[in-house]
Homo-oligomer: A and B are copies of this chain.
Amino acid sequence: MLQSKLFTKTSRNVSADEVSVNARFLTQAGFIDKQMAGAYSFLPLGLRVHRKIEQIIRQEMDAIGGEELLMTSLQPKELWEVTKRWDTPEQIMYKFEQAGSSDVGLAWTHEEPITRIAKRFISSYRDLPRYVYQLQTKFRHEPRAKSGIIRLREFVMKDLYSFHATEADLDLYYEQAKQAYLNVFSRCGLETMVVEASGGAFTKKYSHEFQVLTEAGEDRVIYCSSCKYAQNHEVAKGKVGEQCSACGQDKFKEGKCVEVGNIFKLGTKFSEDFKLYYTAEDGSPKPVVMASYGIGPGRVMGTIVEVHHDEAGIRWPEAVAPYRLHLIALGKEAEVLERAQALYQELTSRGAEVLYDDRDESAGIKFKDADLIGLPWRAVVSAKTGDKVELKSRIAAKAELVGTHKLLNTFSVR
């Protein structure tokens, strides 16, 4: 992408009501635009990050047998009255009445519609297990929409639903899904703690949260700081001052965390409400055992910025960066511009993901923008670099001179 043609520009100005690090940097770097409290547009660079996170999630869901579908946001009142979730104490559902229609709300989760749909296709033990997921917008009337893109009123969520004949089968799959979740976050550059959740009415003791330590967090988690990632990332339980059962030390502390994902054993709550029964091998009718599993890619993106940044800007992990390489031409010499242009063309023809700063701007402005945007690698072409380029990692202090051949080899994908 030529930076001179990019729809967005960086800006140092950001509204005073954006207090979170992720909202400030993402706004300044031109990744997002605030439409209203709790609703942000994803601009071209921001959407590229969002899509890369979505793609990582898709790969991991597909790997555990997930089939992708897409349910509706518009939801009829009657469906949600079956589970008594049309009215919740928090009144989280956006609802509207309009002349000539029955009451309609916007989905803030999708257990109700997926259970109804599953009734069309699941009737026998032979139809189980089944795993379906979607990447669909959720709408939640959050009273306090803050923390930039971490707590939103409108956001894409990946939600997977699994259907099983028995609890034992669910338990096996639940552990597979837990591992898939750990893979997703690790590929996105986030270290997560798996925390047994306090849960709601029907999820008590059957749900887990994936928590990332950061000052931007709204949750608090007690963890043992000497073994927090032990036992497949599950935190040991305990209180501050107590001895940890896993490592024997008294290193429990409370940390601020962002919850980037959660998994719930729903049991037979929804299948009983909707009469989703299957015929077992012995001919008897049994309720289907269900679980749901959620990740918000936008929240993951916001958390990545909270964890990976310095004073100058974002430091994207390679797997989710909008482009891998920021190619920068410095100076007005025709020779330099020609060489940079040729390199850009060669790189893109080999499938490399390059943002090429071809603008007529000073070195100072170009370097500041590159640090703010935060691509993992920066390659400078100038009169000083001769037939080489100055390659620097966003997280390294020093650049190194490398030959064109090495640059091409490093960033080509074909």
**Chain A contact residues, CB within 8 Å of chain B:** 5-9, 11, 30, 33, 35-36, 38-44, 46-47, 50, 65, 67-76, 91, 94-96, 98-101, 104, 113, 117, 120-121, 130, 132, 137, 139, 141, 143, 153-154
* Assembled-state Cα–Cα distance A120/B5 (Å): 15
Write out the residue numbers on chain B whose beta carbons fall within 8 Å of the beta carbon of A132: 7, 44
17 A/B residue pairs, CB under 8 Å, sorted by A = A33-B117, A35-B71, A35-B74, A35-B76, A35-B113, A38-B74, A39-B74, A40-B72, A41-B69, A72-B154, A73-B154, A74-B139, A74-B154, A94-B96, A94-B104, A95-B96, A96-B96
**A70 to chain B: closest residue by CB:** B42
Cβ A50 vs Cβ B70 within 8 A: yes
* Assembled-state Cα–Cα distance A117/B30 (Å): 11
* Assembled-state Cα–Cα distance A5/B130 (Å): 7
Cβ B35 vs Cβ A67 within 8 A: no
* Assembled-state Cα–Cα distance A50/B113 (Å): 20
**A127 to chain B: closest residue by CB:** B9
Q: Which of B7, B36, B99 contacts A121 (CB 8 A)?
A: B7
Cβ B74 vs Cβ A141 within 8 A: no
Write out the residue numbers on chain B whose beta carbons fall within 8 Å of the beta carbon of A47: 68-70
**A113 to chain B: closest residue by CB:** B35
Write out the residue numbers on chain B whose beta carbons fall within 8 Å of the beta carbon of A139: 73-74
Question: What's the nearest-Cβ distance from chain B to residue A182, in Å?
Answer: 25
Most B CB within 10 A of own CB, among A44, A74, A117? A74
* Assembled-state Cα–Cα distance A95/B120 (Å): 32
One complex includes copies of this chain to the number of: 2
**A93 to chain B: closest residue by CB:** B98
Question: What's the nearest-Cβ distance from chain B to residue A319, in Å?
Answer: 20
Write out the residue numbers on chain B whose beta carbons fall within 8 Å of the beta carbon of A8: 120-121
Task: Kindly list the 5 A-B residue pairs having the minimum CB-CB distance in the complex, ordered from nearest.
Answer: A96-B96, A39-B72, A39-B74, A44-B67, A41-B71
Cβ A75 vs Cβ B117 within 8 A: no
Question: What's the nearest-Cβ distance from chain B to residue A22, in Å?
Answer: 17
Write out the residue numbers on chain B whose beta carbons fall within 8 Å of the beta carbon of A41: 69-72, 113, 117
* Assembled-state Cα–Cα distance A7/B68 (Å): 10
Cβ B42 vs Cβ A69 within 8 A: yes
Q: Which of B69, B117, B130, B143 contacts A100 (CB 8 A)?
A: B143
- Apart from A47-B70, A50-B70, A73-B139, what are 13 other A-B pairs with CB-CB below 8 Å? A6-B67, A7-B132, A11-B120, A33-B120, A35-B72, A38-B74, A41-B69, A41-B71, A41-B113, A43-B117, A73-B137, A73-B154, A74-B154
Write out the residue numbers on chain B whose beta carbons fall within 8 Å of the beta carbon of A50: 70
**Known contacts being A7-B67, A44-B67, A68-B44, is A36 close to B104, with CB within 8 Å?**
yes
**A106 to chain B: closest residue by CB:** B106
Most B CB within 10 A of own CB, among A36, A42, A100, A143? A36
Cβ B7 vs Cβ A130 within 8 A: yes
